[in-house]
Amino acid sequence: MSAVVRVELGPRSYDVVVARDYDAIHAAVSGRRRIALVSDADADHACGALVRNALAGEHETFLMGSGEGAKTIATVEDLCRRFAQWGLLRGDLVVAVGGGVVGDTAGFTAATYYRGVDVVHVPTTLLAMVDSAIGGKTGVNLPEGKNLVGAFHQPRGVYANPAVLASLPPREYQCGLGEIAKYALMDDLSFDVDAVRRREPAVLDSVIAACAAIKARYVAADEFEQTGARAALNYGHTLAHALETATDHSMLHGEAVAVGLVFAANLAGALERIEPAQVARHEEVVGELGLPLTAPSGLRADDLVPLMSRDKKSGGALTFVLAGPSGIERVDDPDPAAVHKALASVGVEA
């Protein structure tokens, strides 16, 4: 089975191809003089050879470090210098093979090298397949926060092969379930939870394509986050990014998103934007997927609130994306008492 989801952006439109092979990549990259394949050791070991076999033209592999600690300006500089030494030019192509860290970093490198070279994403984690590889957001971290330096740089295509997920470590796979929980709660997406957790191919392929279609719709409506429509994709992410920073990324992104979703529901409930049954539904969806419902112990509100105020969608206010009568929308400067109550609901100390 294969599926093609179109991201409609006028001249920047592209396809997200979900297929259990990489055959479609060959036609997408043909005609390029040189192709720089950026990956980390784990992703390259898992499927680098398969991707290289599908490439057309001269290519070279550039490995970067793994984990959020590698998602830095220093890594971007290192990749750019190696690109230049190899002779990569503006008309050439970058292929990012890996999870969210590789995709975000290689994508930002492509956006800035020669003031922009084309990039193709080959996501190798569930989280990247359903979310981070789609939509053109690229960036790296600073000590002060996650993804604070970046650019919008749409790929020429996204090629997701769910077969590579069979060997993904359990915790890495579970991180992708955090983003799937987000889409389930945003768009009333239903699926066989147990089958997804077991990685059953037919169900998993269908869910990946469905999540990609949801994201494509929001990206097409608001490519550069100017109207507010795309902000809904940040559901659960304000607290999530703060948790990642506060724990020095020992809490992984999907885990943090799961807690962020529970927090956002409790905050919306405290503000009387949604009914208690909807709050309970958020906790149910997150729990059924085996995701955490509470933050790591020892975190305090005084540590997290300043981090949340640095969120990229903030205009200086404390800003959240919350459910309400009109759907999921941006809410600025909610009642501090409600914020602290919601933080307490996910185990954050006052």
Task: Give catalytic residues, as residue numbers.
Answer: 115, 137, 179, 215, 225, 230, 234, 237, 241, 253
Dihedral sign for Cα 146, 71, 256, 247, please.
Answer: negative
Polymer length in residues for the chain: 350
Residues 52 and 197: their CA atoms lie apart, in Å, by 30
Q: Say which residues have a Cβ less than 8 Å from residue 203's Cβ, sequence separation at least 6.
A: 191, 192, 195, 196
Q: Does residue 251 contact residue 244 with C-beta atoms inside 8 Å?
A: yes
Q: Say which residues have a Cβ less than 8 Å from residue 342's Cβ, sequence separation at least 6.
A: 263, 264, 266, 267, 269, 270
Output the furthest CA–CA distance in the chain (Å, rounded). Answer: 59
What's the start-to-end Cα distance of the chain, in Å? 50
Residues 37 and 54: their CA atoms lie apart, in Å, by 12
φ and ψ at residue 79, rounded to 5 degrees: -65, -45
Q: Say which residues have a Cβ less than 8 Å from residue 118's Cβ, sequence separation at least 6.
A: 92, 93, 94, 110, 155, 156
